[in-house]
A and B are shown apart, each in its own frame.
Chain A
Amino acid sequence: MNNLSEKPAVIWSVTVGILFLTILLRDNFSWLDEYPKALTVPVTESLNASMAWFASSFGWIFKAVTWLLDWPIKGAQVLLQFLPWTVTLFITCVLAYRASGCDWLFNRHFGFLL
């Protein structure tokens, strides 16, 4: 019973009380009205600096990953540009057909070819 979270009435009345107290006092204390600039945690500068440091010291790892990943992309580009559109379409259709699970249909009509 001592746990505060088991008494929602107390918590909510205190919350509403603080709300009205701040509304009443906001003309006397300006920091209640607007978030004071001095309380802004200056993280952006240090974030920028740490990111720059990280990029300059460990960037080569990520650049190596980029270099590695470049090859499959270039391969795919060369392959797709080399293949005529008819072949791309044909391969897509075959894939879609295999995915549809209608292999038995093919076997019934064209099974004699195999």
Chain B
Amino acid sequence: MPALDVLQTVPAFAYLIPILLLFGFGTTVGLVASVIFAFPPMVRNTICGLRAVPDSIVESGQMSGANAWQLFWQVRTPSALRQILLGVNQATMASLSMVIVASIIGGTSDIGWEVIRTMRKAQFGESTLAGIVIAMIAMIMDRITSGLALKSGRSFSGEEDKIKSRKLSMMLVFIAIAITLLAQEIPFLAGWPEGYVFDVAPAINQAVGDFIAEYNAQIRSVKNTIFFFAMLPIKSGMETVVTPYS
């Protein structure tokens, strides 16, 4: 547990250098950094889930004559599954927060690199859009994984349901293959149609530029007021007033 605390509190940038020295450079290294950052919540949740399994469940397993292996995999793990899947959810979110940091050491053409690249060029609109994409991916993955976590262990499905859901999965795979094959013929299915691309980044840049040009005086006055009446007094107070000898 203390090791997990250390891994979670050490700033991500601090272990980028050792990772670079040991693992090299590239996409995989970003993956390693994300894993180091993201696995502590997973481990923590798994430990908590396995510890929180009620004694009565374990005892009923023992009374049914389960050996150690069966007790772990068929009694404890299913009861803790919900907590473990919540850990998966947390780990997913943690690794998504590493998208931008990881692209510093391994990114060439990914979404995190897009944010950094456009930020360096002060392209507000482009970097905002890339950030929104990351946020949306995070939201979708969060909803899906937490949905799976909440669903698990709640409903006991019978044999008939299992067959039905297996049939359903097969049908969905079939549909996916069918779309893939159709996409070879229909260009609309293969690539996002050019006509539907609407780039709002220039408009955002224009709006921000106009806003700054229009309200420059007001923004400056707010900044100066805060600077002169709040921050400078605190700074000089800290420097000269507190100790008797300074």
Give A residues with C-beta under 8 Å from B.
23, 26-27, 51-52, 54-55, 59, 62-63, 65-66, 69-70, 73, 83-87, 90-92, 94-96, 98-101, 103, 106-107, 111, 113-114
Contact = CB atoms under 8 A, between A and B. Distances in A.
Interface size class of B (residues with CB under 8 A): 35 or more
Given A66-B23, A66-B28, A83-B180, A99 B171 contact: no
Contacts of B189: 84, 86
Nearest to B21: A55
Contacts of A94: 172
B93 to A, nearest CB: 15
Interface in B220-246: 243-245
Contact of B28 (A23, A59, A73, A101): A73
Contacts of A54: 22
A100 to B, nearest CB: 6
Given A59-B22, A66-B28, A114-B168, A91 B176 contact: yes
Contact of B151 (A55, A59, A92, A101): A101
Given A23-B244, A84-B183, A114-B171, A99 B165 contact: no
Contacts of B191: 84-85
A99 B183 contact: no
Given A54-B22, A69-B28, A96-B143, 5 more contacts: A87-B179, A90-B179, A92-B144, A96-B147, A107-B164
A56 B168 CA distance: 53
Contact of A65 (B23, B164, B165, B180): B23
